[in-house]
Amino acid sequence: MMTKPAEYLVFLGSARDSTPPQPARLGLRVARQCVAQLRETGAIVRLVDPLEIPLSAVFKPHFSHARGRAPAELEELAQYIESADGYVMVSPEYNHSMSPALAHLLNHFGSSLFAGKPSAIVTYSAGQWGGARAAVNMRTFLSELGCLPVSAMVHLPAAHTVLDPDGNFLAGVDEPAWRGYFRRTLEQLLWWSEAASRQRANPAARFPGAFDRSPTQRNAPEAST
Ligand SMILES: Cc1cc2nc3c(=O)[nH]c(=O)nc-3n(C[C@H](O)[C@H](O)[C@H](O)COP(=O)(O)O)c2cc1C
């Protein structure tokens, strides 16, 4: 068992603040349901909202600043990412791809902050496919980022017909079935994050394969001539 409460970050992938079709970002409902279910386990859970993190107009990631000299919001989020045991990535589907707002936010942080910890993919849409196509490339993205996605995923079609703006299930939906659907993915996240936490706490188990000088340390050897 973990000795301290597990910590999770739930990243909300939408930075849309316009209407219609829904009065607010659909993603807030989905992210809030994930936060609520994780909190029921006793975990410390933070919702990361891209609208609350001012990013510079010119792309300058956290790791491009001198150590400890990045803008306060980036420094704070970097610390939360580093101390978290796992991540939930909640993304809408935009043009069959993951949210550009989520990708942009995550691109600000180096893979070492995420390394050795799992993630869960949760996608949604206003339409009928639930963001399943976005989820496919999220696996690639999150694997490269270092937080390997667990096998189970949540895809939520017509999210506005399932969850209210606070993230509660609407009257008339089969709540036990929907809760169970979310829980299957979140329980996999908890299982892997507990295992990874134990491994990170093991002084004999250094995380393998990290590069410490240059990304070229990951390269295949030169082909022989
Ligand atoms: C630029 C853009 C592209 C979209 N592409 C898709 C899509 O490929 N598949 C889909 O199911 N819905 C698509 N939608 C509809 C979204 O599912 C819907 O707008 C949803 O509310 C977005 O989530 P949000 O409100 O949290 O931003 C798209 C919406 C936008 C604004």
One-character DSSP codes across 177-224 = HHHHHHHHHHHHHHHHHHHHHHHHH-TT-PPTT--SS-GGGGSPPPPP
pLDDT of residue 3 exceeding 80, the answer is no
Q: Is the CB of 92 under 6 A from ligand 1?
A: yes
Give the separation between CA 11 and CA 190, rounded to whole angstroms. 16
CA–CA gap between residue 211 and residue 209 (Å, rounded): 6
Residue 64 in this model has a pLDDT that exceeds 90: yes
Q: What is the CATH number of the domain that holds 55?
A: 3.40.50.360
Asked if residue 147 belongs to a domain, the reply is yes
CA of 15 to the centre of ligand 1 (A): 12
Per the structure, how many domains does the chain have? 1
Say if 160 falls within a structural domain.
yes
DSSP-assigned beta bridge partners for residue 7: 44
Is residue 224 situated within a structural domain?
A: no
Q: CB of 185 closer than 6 A to ligand 1?
A: no
- Evaluate whether residue 13 is within a structural domain: yes
In a domain, 1, yes or no: no
* Alpha-carbon separation of residue 212 from 112, 215, 217 (angstroms): 10, 8, 8
Å from CA of 58 to ligand 1 middle? 25
Mean of the per-residue pLDDT values of the chain: 93
* pLDDT > 70? residue 22: no
Is the CB of residue 156 less than 8 Å from the CB of residue 187?
no
Within a domain: residue 223? Answer: no
Enter the pTM of the model.
0.94
Beta carbons of 134 and 155 less than 8 angstroms apart: no
Which structural domain, as residue segments, surrounds residue 93?
7-218
